[in-house]
Amino acid sequence: MSSPAERRTVVAAGGVVWRPADGDGIEVAVVHRARYDDWSLPKGKLDAGEHPLQAACREVVEETGLEVVAGRRCPTTRYVVDGAPKRVDYWAMRCVGGSFVANDEVDELRWLPPEEAAAQVTHDHDRLVVTDAARTDVPREVAVLLVRHGRAGSKQEFDGPDDLRPLDAKGRRQAQRLAGALPFFSPAAVASAPPLRCRSTVEPLAGFVGLGVHDRPEFGEECFAEDPQTTLTALERLLGPGAEGITVLCSQGGVIPSLLQALGVHGHGVPGLPPPAAKGSVWALGGRRGALVADYYRDFEPDPDAPSQA
C-alpha cells in the first residue's frame, strides 16, 4: 500500500464569501454539509482542465447560489483525507447577489461575524482561513490586474517595427486563458500599453466582458524609460480609494518589475530581488504601499494535480 506521500494530491478550491455588515465589519458565509454533518467553507474538487481560481468560483456558486467577485488569495490548507494528501486553495470573495437554496451538498448557510464563523466551522484548517480573511491590515479586494503580454516570438526574427510584433501561437493561447479566468474578478475597465502584443493579450478578455481596450501609453517601456514617476503615479491612482472598479492593465517586462519594487514588492519576498513577470502572467494588486495585496499568477493553465482531460 502506498504511503500518503506517494499518493496523488487531491486538489480542491473554495472561497471565504463575505458581505459588509454594520459599521466597517463584515459577515462570512459558512455552510452545513449534510453528508459529513459539519460546518465548513464552500469548496470542492477541481474538474479536469481547471485552474484553482475557476474551480473556487464555480464551487461557491454551485453550493451557495450566491454571486461573487474574487479578491485576494487566502491561505492554502493542506491535510490528509482517507490516507491521501489534500490541498485546498482559497480566495476572499465579496457577495454581490444571489440567494441560497438548499441543495444536495449544502442544506444550510449562515452569515456570521468572523469570530462567530471561526467558532462555528468544524475544522481547524477552515478556522485559519476565516481568521485570515478578517484581517484589516490588507484589503480583501484587488483593484488592478497587472498583466504582462503573452509570448510574441523573437524580436530579432520579426521583420518590422517592434510595436507591431504579434503574439505567437502560445501567446494567443495565453490570451484565451486570461479571458477565461480574469472575469471572475469582475473587471470594470481594460487598458493596454501601445505595442500590438499588449493589446492582443487583453482583447479576448475585453470582448468576453463587453468592454473596450483603452490606450495607456505611460505603461509602455518607451514612456516609462522617459518618466517612470508618471507611470508609478498612474498606477497608484488606479489603486487609490477613488478608483472605480477593477482595471485590467497590460504592460511590458521592462516596466512591471520596477513598478512592483517601487510599491514594495520583492521577488520571493527577498529585498532587492526583482519580482517575477513571466509572459502571460498577472499580478493582482490592491491597497497601497505598506498595506498592499500582491498575488502573482504565473499562468492560468490547469492545475497539474487536477484530473486529466479526456
Grid coordinates representing 295 are 498575488
Find the helix or strand (DSSP H, E) in which 60 lies. Answer: helix 52-64
Res 282 pLDDT > 80: yes
E strand spans, the chain: 10-20, 26-33, 38-40, 43-45, 66-81, 84-98, 108-112, 144-148, 187-192, 213-215, 246-251, 282-288, 291-297
Give the β-pairing of 66-81 and 84-98.
Answer: antiparallel
- Hey, where are the domains in the chain? 4-133, 144-297
pLDDT at position 23 is 85
Please state the rounded mean pLDDT for residues 73-101: 96
Please state the rounded mean pLDDT for residues 127-148: 97
Length of the chain: 310
**Are residues 89 and 76 in contact, defined by beta-carbon separation less than 8 angstroms?**
yes
Q: Give the pLDDT band of residue 100 (cuts 50, 70, 90).
A: very high
By C-alpha distance, which of 208, 236, 209, 210 is closest to 146?
Answer: 236
pLDDT at position 2 is 46
Res 302 pLDDT > 60: yes
**Are residues 293 and 287 in contact, defined by beta-carbon separation less than 8 angstroms?**
yes
- Cβ count within 10 A of residue 115: 12
Report how far apart, in Å, the C-alpha atoms of 225 and of each of 34, 146, 231 are: 59, 18, 10
Q: Give tens-digit pLDDT for 196-249.
A: 999 999 999 999 999 999 999 999 999 999 999 999 999 999 999 877 899 999
Report how far apart, in Å, the C-alpha atoms of 169 and of each of 63, 161, 176, 242 are: 37, 20, 11, 38
Please state the CATH superfamily assignment of the domain spanning residues 144-297 in this structure: Phosphoglycerate mutase-like (3.40.50.1240)
Class of domain 4-133: alpha beta
By C-alpha distance, which of 9, 3, 146, 148 is closest to 77?
Answer: 9
Q: Give the pLDDT band of residue 6 (cuts 50, 70, 90).
A: low
pLDDT at position 272 is 84
DSSP track, 180-244:
HHGGGG-EEEEEE-SSHHHHHHHHHHHHHHT--EEE-GGGSHHHHHH-HHHHHHHHHHHHSTT--
Separation between Cα atoms, residue 286 and residue 288, nearest integer Å: 7
Res 3 pLDDT > 80: no
